[in-house]
Amino acid sequence: MAILVVDDDARLRRAVRRVLVSQGFDVEVAEDGDAASGRLRTGSFDLVVLDVMMPGRDGIEVCERLRAEGDHQLPVLMLTARDAVRDRVAGLEAGADDYLVKPFANEELVARVRALLRRSGKGSQTVEFAGLELDLLTHDARRGTREIVLSPIEFQLLELFMVHPRQVLSRRVIYERVWGYDASLSSNSLDVFVGHLRRKLEAGGEARLIQTVRGVGYSLRQR
């Protein structure tokens, strides 16, 4: 699924993109309202994350124009630093579907995005590998007919493996994608969570899919 992230703050733009890419989304960015309007006319997106306060054409105007041009289906998530009721109302009246106040937790951003995609009828994005299925939007996991209950970190870890099947992922890459920082030299958190995942994935006597690549990291593949 493709998401357009619009914000004049380059650091926030990069951070939001990094979080959404880590969750399996294709993400493009725009630095202001004019660039966003151009991307929306020429590209195809499943959702827009749109900052309200931008120089020139702000998020309210971008959203109003999008709706005025007849696109009433594309979900719009507004970002704002202002929590006043009148500001939220202005965004919703302009055609936004939801509002998120800065600063926000990455988990809440992802949850809002997934909820909007579900409401828009795009609520299933399933990846599959060797009989293991993972719905990236509902977080449902299944191996064959057996349902698997995952914690948030376990889900993020398994999702990373499943969107990069057969690839060897280094410890550094896994820590950066799942935890947001490099702790590969000082923490055994990764090994602990891989152990949890393996026990859940193999609870029915199934073959191991998460393989250890000694000295490097892990890989999702069949022996």
Give the model's pLDDT for residue 93: 86
Give the model's pLDDT for residue 126: 81
The model's pTM: 0.58
Shortest CA distance to 165 belongs to which of 211, 200, 206? 211
Give the model's pLDDT for residue 185: 53
**Domains of the chain by start residue, with CATH:** 2-119 (3.40.50.2300), 126-220 (1.10.10.10)
List, in order, residues 6 or more apart from 177 with CB less than 8 Å away.
22, 156, 160
Give the model's pLDDT for residue 124: 57
Rg (CA), the chain: 19
Task: Show pLDDT as tens, one digit a residue, over the chain (223 residues).
Answer: 799 999 999 999 999 999 898 877 889 999 999 999 999 988 889 999 999 988 888 999 999 999 998 888 899 999 988 766 777 788 888 899 998 888 888 888 988 898 888 777 665 578 889 999 998 777 899 999 999 999 888 998 999 999 889 999 999 889 888 887 665 555 688 999 999 999 999 999 999 999 999 999 999 999 8
Give the model's pLDDT for residue 177: 82
Shortest CA distance to 9 belongs to which of 102, 144, 74, 91? 102
